[in-house]
Structure 1
Amino acid sequence: MASGPRYQEIADDLRRRLAGGEWPVGTALPGISELQEEYNVAGLNTVRQAQRVLIDEGLLNPVQGRGTFVTALPPPGGPPTLKQALGELRVALMHTQVALDRVMRHLD
């Protein structure tokens, strides 16, 4: 049984390797062609999608013509679950509502 899309498996492995200290903040990941070979994938888009996941998480930053650099390490325990993320969003929305209520009271 497959655990998910190949790009997600690669993203998970790259995240694990980042957390393990294989690439410290400020260092470049190996090039896409090297990662393609390492993960035995034919299409470069699979590796790009994997990197995109980590870019969206704020862990990597691609620099045109220079490579993809580590900008942060994963939080302990990996990325938040959907339930955790929604809980954090709920709290943020409550704080925003309180702030908006204060502003509206001052406008009246």
Structure 2
Amino acid sequence: MVFSRWTTPILWALHEYGRQRFVELERRLVSITPKVLTQRLRQLERDGLVLRTYHAEVPPRVEYEISELGRSLAPLFATLAEWSANHLDEVDRRRREYDDRPRAGGRRG
């Protein structure tokens, strides 16, 4: 549930930046499509990890924030951020090594 493609980035953004409107989240998660963001937010709301607040204004306004249950994942986010800081350079190096390796049949990549 937490490690599906967009769940962790959405929860992290809400944890890190607080309550946000749909468009703000969409800007922070550059390559997510509106359809996928909508689907993930609905699932996270259903799971109790995200709270959705509807403001009956003209035009209507909807805001999303991480719930207490979602906030309980903060230690996990901190651990992932620490791991990333310590290991992403190595991951990048290994990717380059892998991509530069000769392949069977003489083809690369």
Scaled by the length of structure 1, what TM-score is found? 0.42
Higher-RCO chain (CA-CA 8 Å, sequence separation at least 6):
1
Scaled by the length of structure 2, what TM-score is found? 0.42
